[in-house]
Chains A and B, each alone.
Chain A
Amino acid sequence: ETGVTQSPTHLIKTRGQQVTLRCSSQSGHNTVSWYQQALGQGPQFIFQYYREEENGRGNFPPRFSGLQFPNYSSELNVNALELDDSALYLCASSPAPTGFGYTFGSGTRLTVV
């Protein structure tokens, strides 16, 4: 049973650029949730994807968008990067869209300069 894999592990982008982060869900999981963890803070819910559709969103602007693919992997896209977007982005897969049974990846550390 494979866990949740996120790529890349680290990246540095310039303000105004766009970035795509990727997440492979755990085998048997059909739901992917994305969280942003700023330095010294707890994770904040960005959105959740279930069966290739967004079915929940936190308090994040539309420049944060995502996709889920038929194999349940997912992408997080952020346009027009701002300095405050610098954070650890965590992907969590789960067997259902309930908030239970999360398996988290190790995260992608995004630095915006």
Chain B
Amino acid sequence: EVQLVESGGGLLQPGGSLRLSCAASGFTFSNYEMNWVRQAPGKGLEWVSCISSTGSTIYYADSVKGRFTISRDNAKNSLFLQMNSLRAEDTAVYYCTRLFSSWGQGTLVTVSS
């Protein structure tokens, strides 16, 4: 069974940094592109970033480009999202997803002073 478990969310002040993790199991992680999607409270879904299976190809939404960095460790079946220069509008539940067919439960990031 595919399992994705996000962690690393929390409350922090504007301008801060946070690193989200997504632990994958139940499939060959190194074979799959992975994505991060976020959802602000009461709002719709927003695609954030994706990384190819080898990590060689990466894309970002304009709203996070230059501030967020996606990465992966295929040896540890893990996906990461390094978030810097955080803003109030980055407040959201962050989901990792495999092919958009399998999703984690999400981790909440709250940016507030």
A-B complex is real? no
- B interface with A by C-beta (< 8 Å): none
- A interface with B by C-beta (< 8 Å): none
